[in-house]
Amino acid sequence: MMVSKKMAAALNEQVKNEFFAYWTYLQMSYSFNSMGLSVFSKWYNEQAMEEQGHAMKIADYLLDQGAEVELLSLDKPKADYKSAEEVVQAALDHEIMVTQQINALASLAREEHDYATENFLQYYVQEQVEEVATATELLDLVKMSDSTGQLLMLENRIMALRTEG
Ligand code: OFO
């Protein structure tokens, strides 16, 4: 195995964290669907699929390094959202938490002089910068919309954000 046991365990944990992000965004997508906001729903569905990709990319890396992948159980994601703003705020909070997880992994890689893993994690470091920025922008837009009508108009802007992002 080309990574330490500690690093393999930490990366396995991050596979779980990325799958939990997938789970969380999928629930957000369903919650938006129930609110009648189909573009928001699609947005979070696509976000969920990205998170699934992040999880599997780490799993593939573990295998490439001769380590084993062990899938861990996921908590139930929050589902009782009361408003669009609450969902989007939770998404931003989630991305900030994931950024901290990625930073902790990057610190461990540096501490262990594990240059391959440090290099591998750069994609995630960069990805988190973009995801926090996009989630912040989305929250700012939602905060400016104080009615369902405005939220529906905002959905056009959201589609543009996805295309730009
Ligand atoms: Fe996996 O990028 Fe967001 O959380």
The domain segmentation of the chain, as residue ranges, is: 5-160
- What is the average per-residue pLDDT within 131-155? 88
| Overall CATH class of domain 5-160 | mainly alpha
Ligand 1 site, residue 18, Cβ cutoff 6 A: yes
Nearest CA to ligand 1 atom 1: 51
The predicted-structure confidence for 8-27, as pLDDT tens digits, reads as follows 999 999 999 999 999 999 99
Q: How far is the CA of 161 from the centre of ligand 1 (A)?
A: 17
Query: pTM for this one?
Result: 0.93
- 139: pLDDT strictly greater than 70: yes
Q: Is 91 in the pocket of ligand 1 (CB under 6 A)?
A: no
Per-residue model confidence as pLDDT tens digits over 63-80: 999 999 999 999 999 999
127 Cβ below 6 A of ligand 1: yes
Query: If you write DSSP's letter for every residue of 28-82 in order, what string do you get?
Result: HHHHHHHHT-HHHHHHHHHHHHHHHHHHHHHHHHHHHTT--------PPPP----
Residue 62 Cα to ligand 1 middle (Å): 18
Average pLDDT (42-56) is: 97
Residue 108: which pLDDT band, with cuts at 50, 70 and 90? Answer: very high
